[in-house]
C-alpha cells in the first residue's frame, strides 16, 4: 500500500514538473502552466498584448500568444487586476507586441521595445517581494485587492475588448463585472 502511494505521489510530481517550464526560457513563445498556480510557479508568454483600463481600480491584460506562428486574434491568457484604491493609470486600447510573466500574485508586462513596462503585485500574507526589472522603469501597482488569471478562452477576440461594458448581472460589487459578446468577466473583489 505504501509503495503504491509513493508511486502515485511520484507520478503526480512528474506531471506537475512537466506541466510548467521555467520563465527563464525566453525562447519559448508560451511556457504553459496548469490551472493550479503555486506561488513558486512562473509562466510567461510572448504575443500581442492588450492592456485595458476598465475603471479607476480595475485593469485587464490580455495576450494573444504566438504558438509557432502569428497570433490568431483570440485571447489566450486573460489577467484581471483590482486595486484597493484608485490607480490613476490610463492606457490606449491598441495592442502591442510584448511579453508577460505571471507568478502567483504578480504579473509583469513588458513591450518588446522595452516600453509599457508594468508590474501588478498582490502582496501575499507571507510577505513575498517581487523584484523590480533591471531597468527600474516599470510602473508598479501594489495597492491591490486581487489578480486573477484565466486561460483557454474560446471565442473572445482581442479586437472586441474595446467593446467591453459594465455587466448588468454581477455577483460582485458594482463595477466588478464587464461583458462583451455575451461573455461575462468578473474581476477580483
In this prediction, residue 107 carries a pLDDT of: 95
Residue 128 vs residue 98, higher pLDDT: 98
Contact 157, 74 (CB under 8 A): yes
- DSSP category for residue 161: G
- Does an H or E element contain 7, and which? helix 2-19
Q: Lowest-pLDDT range, 15-24, 77-86, 144-153, 159-168? A: 15-24
**Residue 18, pLDDT above cutoff 80:** no
In this prediction, residue 128 carries a pLDDT of: 47
Residue 86 vs residue 90, higher pLDDT: 86
Between the alpha carbon of residue 27 and those of residues 21, 23, 30, 134, 180, the distances in Å are 12, 10, 9, 19, 33
- What is the mean pLDDT of the segment spanning 97-111? 91
Kindly report the number of other CB atoms within 10 A of residue 74's CB atom.
16
Amino acid at each position: 500500500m505504501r509503495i503504491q502511494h509513493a508511486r502515485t505521489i511520484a507520478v503526480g510530481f512528474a506531471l506537475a514538473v512537466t506541466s510548467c517550464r521555467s520563465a527563464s526560457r525566453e525562447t519559448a513563445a508560451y511556457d504553459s502552466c496548469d490551472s493550479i498556480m503555486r506561488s513558486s510557479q512562473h509562466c510567461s508568454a510572448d504575443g500581442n498584448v492588450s492592456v485595458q483600463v476598465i475603471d479607476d481600480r480595475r485593469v485587464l491584460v490580455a495576450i494573444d500568444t504566438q504558438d509557432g506562428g502569428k497570433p490568431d486574434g483570440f485571447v489566450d491568457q486573460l489577467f484581471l487586476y483590482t486595486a484597493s484604491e484608485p490607480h490613476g493609470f490610463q492606457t490606449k486600447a491598441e495592442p502591442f507586441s510584448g511579453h508577460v510573466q505571471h507568478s502567483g500574485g504578480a504579473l509583469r508586462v513588458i513591450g518588446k521595445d522595452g516600453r509599457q513596462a508594468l508590474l501588478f503585485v498582490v502582496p501575499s500574507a507571507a510577505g513575498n517581494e517581487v523584484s523590480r526589472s533591471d531597468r527600474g522603469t516599470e510602473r508598479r501597482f501594489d495597492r491591490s485587492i486581487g489578480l486573477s488569471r484565466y486561460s483557454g478562452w474560446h471565442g473572445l477576440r482581442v479586437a472586441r475588448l474595446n467593446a467591453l461594458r459594465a455587466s448588468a448581472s454581477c455577483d460582485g460589487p458594482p463595477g466588478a463585472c464587464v461583458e462583451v459578446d455575451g461573455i461575462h468577466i468578473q474581476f477580483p473583489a
